Amino acid sequence: MRIEMRIEHDTMGPVEVPEGAYYGAQTQRAVENFPISGKTMPPELIHALGLVKWACAKANAELGLLQSGRSPLSEEQIAALLTACLEVAEGKFDDHFPVDVYQTGSGTSTNMNANEVIARRANEIVEAGENCEGRLPTAGRQRAVLRTKTPIDSPCRLSPTLPPGGRQPTSAVSIHPNDHVNMGQSSNDIFPTAMIVALVIEIAFLKDAVAVANKTLQEKEYAWENVLKIGRTHLADATPMTLGQEFEGFKDQMLDAYTMVCSALRFLDSLPVGGTAIGTGINTHPDFAQKVIGFVNEKLDEKVVLAGSGKDAGDTEFVRPFGDLSSRFNTISQRNDIVTAHSLIKSAAVCIFNVANNIRWLGSGPRAGFYEIIIPDLQPGSSIMPGKVNPVLCEALMQACARVIGNDQTMTFCGAAGGQFQLNVMMPVMADTAIESVKILSGALEVFTEKCLKGLVANEEKCREGVEKSLSLATALNPHIGYEKAAEVAKEAFKTGKTVREVCLEWDVLPPERLAEVLDPMRMTRPN
């Protein structure tokens, strides 16, 4: 079926664009120039870009810039522009952002994609005479859409998308992609601003996921504080402990991960908006940046579900509002903020990986493994071995962590090699990589906690059995008969298949009453 095309123009001349597309010439050129991976920019970045564009348009309107100058807009046009920006933030036009991740390194193609879509949709609203009153419906709490508590305030009511026929070319419309939508902006400051906003929103969900996992592990710690088991070092038997103590260690690892995620947010507390091309702020009003940052803070604080107060992990602060910068040269030329934040997310992934892997080991079996905890059965584990069940969510979470750890190498290299003079030119792949890391880590951890962690059951019989058979009980004999004699006891027990207790009674190393006290496994789980 032949796709109907229309003619668009930019500064390089005419371009054929699909008739139904909301984007224009510059986006189409990017589609043709970068047929590389088939992977478009993540929707979270596009939604954040729509939010930032809304804040910029609102700032320019308050400063009177959209209403004056060479191409002034009417109040109706400004209202339509603000509505179009919020529709992009809500994910209404995700299908109209076709540019590949591997594009120009400043994200200019994606920025212009947003400018063109917003301009065309705004003009469509004006042409249709849509009633500019009421609110914009939200798309709900979907991971791919800007998540909100209440509908986003909007000067216009959302109406069904108009049919593509009869649209005017971009060059003929009154709300212009560059002159109005991109007023006071450059890709060089707006794209990284959107990157940071998108990451902060996604990290909110990761922070919540880690806090819930931490709380769940703590519940297991308390529930199993009297379940005796054998400890292990080097995968070999060590001295006794309780299953609760083991899970206390897992809980503290998750608390470490939580602290790292919180620290990542602290490196994402400033927005480079207002620096425009190289940080000087050319073509912006002196108050523009401060107003934009204020509007972004207002939206995030009042409307976006910033999941996780942190109370479960002992931190009531979620995220500080974005601050204004005295200088934007560093924040445009380098991406140290996002590199550092991602490195902390990577470190959190290391902690989370260890927890998932240890739980996988503890649940191994059921007959030839440790099997000290019972992992919920979720699905058949083999296409050939009947009855086999695997720790699938442990493995899924471990793979997500592995991806994050690998992604950090990309982030590090892009940060180190991508920034020359006044601009980092590897930002699109950094945005895609960082958002992927946070999104898959929070998603995998959420389902792991809900479907695996909460359903873990202690196999108390198996735990007790391991303690009594362990040769490491001989460690408790050291203060009473000496290290060398205790070693002889352990070796004799191993050679004969007897327990340490049985060998001690045969050798009469201590009076039976005293031996019972010394070899009490629960006594070995604390200083004595």
Catalytic residues: 234, 382
**One-letter-per-residue 3-state SS of 225-242:** CCCEEEEEECCEEEEEEE
> Kind and range of the H or E element at 373?
strand 373-374
Rounded to whole angstroms, the Cα distance separating 138 from 57 reads: 20
CB 141 within 8 A of CB 147: yes
Q: Residue 152: left if φ>0, alpha if ψ -120 to 50, beta else—which one?
A: beta
What distance in Å separates the CA atoms of residue 175 and residue 466, rounded to the nearest whole number? 74
Q: Say which residue the tokens 């700032």 belong to.
A: 59
Strands annotated E in 221-363:
228-233, 236-242
Residue whose tokens read 């402990």: 241
Q: Are strands 236-242 and 228-233 parallel, antiparallel or unpaired?
A: antiparallel
Orientation of helix 187-223 relative to helix 43-62, angle to 10°: 120
Nearest of 257, 290, 256 to residue 273 by alpha carbon: 290
What is the torsional sign of CA 428, 206, 272, 424?
negative
DSSP class of residue 180 equals: I
Contact 61, 69 (CB under 8 A): no
Q: Is 272 exposed, middle or buried (0-12, 13-18, 19+ CB in 10 A)?
A: buried
Full DSSP string of 127-153: HHT----SEEPP--S-TTS--BSSPEE
Integer Cα distance of 464 and 499 in angstroms: 13
Q: Which tokens belong to 251?
A: 């809980």
Tell me 454's DSSP state: G
In this structure, are residues 258 and 311 in contact, taking their beta carbons and an 8 Å threshold?
Answer: no
Check the CA dihedral 387-388-393-399 and report its sign: negative
Buried b (16+ CB within 10 A) or exposed e, 462-496: bbbebbeebbbbbbbbeeebeeeebeebbebbeee
